[in-house]
Amino acid sequence: MILRGSLRLRLLALILLPLAVISLFAMLWRYSEARTTAQEIFDRNLLLMGFAVARDVALSGGDTLAPSTQAVFKDASGGDVFYHVYGPDGSFVTGYSSPPTTSLSSPSSDEPIQQYDATHQGVPVRVARLFEEASVDGIEGNTVVTVWQRLDQRDAFVQQTGRRAIAVVLLLLGSVAMLVLFGVGIGLRPLNELEDAIQKRSGADLSPILRQVPEETKGIVARLNSLFAKVTEAQEAQQRFVSLAAHQLRNPVAAIHTMAEATQNAQTLQESKSRADTLVEGTRNAVRLTNQLLSFERVKGGIPKFEVVDLSDLLQSVAQTIAPKASRAGVDLEIVMENGPPSCLGDQTLLREALINLVENALLHGGKNISYIRVSVEKTAAEIWLTVENDGNAIDPSDRQRIFDRFSQASHDTGAGLGLSIASEIAKLHSGALELDNLQPVRFILRIGRQSR
């Protein structure tokens, strides 16, 4: 949890933990190498000491060791070295009286050198035995030179070498840790500066970040700038919508207020009822406009609830809702399901609202000559098409794109100019689009992404 909350600690852990593991293995390897190296060095020294003793015994007849050999015994081996010499007749010649015992047979011409671990007076030692031909007191024959040294001396050498290696590794690890610590701090400084720059901004300042940033953070800054642009666009769209909505609501509300006053001031009951009917119609239009405004905002910011939608039931529900209005207008409402898919995945409530808006748009703007409205379903290779066609007033080619704008109308009939915008937004939520396929007869196609079963 701590590492998740701090990028600095995460970087330190990612760099230092592997380095610490590698350092640990390096120290173990160095300690093993020091032990092996010490074994080779001390064994070689023992052999050299053995050869020096054999040489002095041959030269002096076993009387004494040369001063140079005694000096080497004290200095060259890193500690005391003991020796013992058996003469050709098996008698003791020189050295310490009791060499370490072993179960090995005495060296011979076939095996002139032996090295082994043993115990001498309760202390672990390393032993070297040499087979040499020499003359001692006029007696020529085979001599056996035994040289040994305590193991704790070489262990001390190994530990000293290991401690030095550990000290060097720890020093390097500490130095790298400090460098990484300062390096990470310096490397994160641009992020801290970027954070300070963002903190100085107010909620109203969503302009793009133009300061120089490291290559690794350019993606983050680009995403932030993209987000700022989208938020700014959304805010501007919201402000335009509120302004347009206020403008659109002002006229119906003013008309309702005027008709209410006229109804109140009517001279006769018949005149009052007539004005009341007009007042009710104006109120109905205002309610419809308000509902469309709410529907548009809900669709713009909503998340569709996808489920299996029975298209036959969907179209029947639309027909039941619109049929009374179509009947009063003398328009034949047709539902066609011959080759359409039986179902699809979508938001049933939103799809129903889109179709109702398209059919009501046809009733509202079709004019006096409209005789039919046909709603059909068609399945293509990639999409499902919900088509609404009518034979009413043709749409001017110059209005092909403008009619999809909010509060825009191709004619001067009553209406808010939101029906096609709402249907278009619903199509986008279903990975599709709303398009004007034909100008006369007027044919709109609501395309939704292919999610049919």
Q: Which of 114-123, 243-252, 274-283, 416-425 has the highest mean pLDDT?
A: 114-123
Averaged over 400-407, what is the pLDDT? 67
Neighbouring C-beta atoms of residue 218, cutoff 10 Å: 11
Q: 78 and 106 share a domain?
A: yes
- Residue 35 within a domain: yes
Higher-pLDDT residue of 64, 99: 99
Angle between helices 311-328 and 348-365 in degrees, nearest 10: 30
Domain extent, residue 9, equals 2-158
Q: Is the pLDDT of residue 401 over 60?
A: yes
Separation between Cα atoms, residue 169 and residue 162, nearest integer Å: 10
In this prediction, residue 7 carries a pLDDT of 67
Summarize pLDDT for 328-345 with one digit per residue, the tens. 888 898 888 766 678 888
- Residue 211 within a domain: no
Closest CA to 344 of 229, 450, 235: 450
91: tokens are: 């008698």
CATH number of the domain enclosing 423: 3.30.565.10
- Residue 180 within a domain: no
Closest CA to 296 of 423, 438, 111, 134: 423
Summarize pLDDT for 271-314 with one digit per residue, the tens. 777 777 777 766 766 666 566 566 656 655 566 778 888 888 88
Higher-pLDDT residue of 257, 333: 333
pLDDT band at 72 (very low <50, low <70, confident <90, very high): low
Distances (CA, A) of 441 to 30, 343, 351, 392, 400: 90, 27, 23, 7, 14
Residue 245, CA atoms < 13 Å, CB-side half-sphere: 17
Matching residue, tokens 């031909």: 133
- Residue 29 within a domain: yes
In this prediction, residue 193 carries a pLDDT of 74
Q: Is the pLDDT of residue 205 over 60?
A: yes
Summarize pLDDT for 344-387 with one digit per residue, the tens. 888 888 888 888 888 888 888 888 889 999 998 888 777 888 89
Q: Is the pLDDT of residue 453 over 60?
A: no
Maximum alpha-carbon separation in the chain? 166
Q: 307 and 441 share a domain?
A: yes
Q: Which of 104-118, 204-218, 249-263 has the highest mean pLDDT?
A: 104-118
Sign of torsion over alpha carbons 397, 403, 409, 415: positive
236: tokens are: 């501007």
Q: 111 and 129 share a domain?
A: yes
Per residue in 342-381, is it b (16+ CB within 10 Å) or e — as a string?
A: ebbbbbbebbbbbbbbbbbbbbbbbeeebebbbbbbbbee
Question: Radius of gyration (Cα) for the chain, nearest Å?
Answer: 51
Q: 417 and 363 share a domain?
A: yes
What is the DSSP annotation of 106-134? Answer: PP-SSS-EEEEEEEETTEEEEEEEEEEEE
Q: 99 and 36 share a domain?
A: yes
407: left (phi over 0), alpha (psi -120 to 50) or beta: left
Higher-pLDDT residue of 59, 96: 96
338: tokens are: 């011959």
Amino acid in position 346 = G
- Residue 416 within a domain: yes
Q: Is the pLDDT of residue 452 over 60?
A: no
* Domains: count for the chain: 3
In this prediction, residue 372 carries a pLDDT of 92
Q: What's the mean pLDDT when you consider all of the chain? A: 76
CB 145 within 8 Å of CB 91:
no
Domain endpoint, select from 299, 331, 351:
299
Q: 63 and 111 share a domain?
A: yes
Q: 269 and 307 share a domain?
A: no
Q: 137 and 92 share a domain?
A: yes
Domain endpoint, select from 158, 179, 208:
158
In this prediction, residue 246 carries a pLDDT of 61
Domain endpoint, select from 242, 267, 299:
299
Closest CA to 448 of 339, 311, 317, 328: 311
Q: Residue 35: which residues within 8 A CB-CB, separation 6 or more?
A: 158
96: tokens are: 């310490």
Q: Is the pLDDT of residue 70 over 70?
A: no
Distances (CA, A) of 353 to 91, 344, 359: 120, 16, 10
Among 104-108, 128-132, 156-160, 202-206, the least confident range? 202-206
Matching residue, tokens 């539902």: 335
Averaged over 1-12, what is the pLDDT? 64
Higher-pLDDT residue of 5, 427: 427
Q: 13 and 134 share a domain?
A: yes
Q: 362 and 323 share a domain?
A: yes
Closest CA to 388 of 343, 419, 418, 349: 419
Between vectors from CA 314 to CA 312 and to CA 319, what angle results, nearest 5°? 95
262: tokens are: 């006229």
315: tokens are: 């179209």
Separation between Cα atoms, residue 25 and residue 160, nearest integer Å: 18
Residue 103 DSSP label: S
Distances (CA, A) of 285 to 40, 294, 414, 420: 105, 14, 8, 17
Q: Is the pLDDT of residue 194 over 70?
A: yes
Sheet-wide strand order for 139-150 = 92-95, 82-86, 139-150, 123-136, 113-120
Number of residues assigned to the chain: 453
**384-387: which pairs have CB atoms within 8 A and are 24 or more residues apart?**
384/340, 384/341, 384/344, 384/447, 384/448, 384/450, 384/451, 384/452, 385/445, 385/446, 385/447, 386/351, 386/354, 386/355, 386/445, 386/446, 386/447, 386/448, 387/437, 387/443, 387/444, 387/445, 387/446
Q: 45 and 136 share a domain?
A: yes
In this prediction, residue 444 carries a pLDDT of 92
Q: Where are the beta strands (DSSP E) in 87-190?
A: 92-95, 113-120, 123-136, 139-150
Higher-pLDDT residue of 408, 162: 162
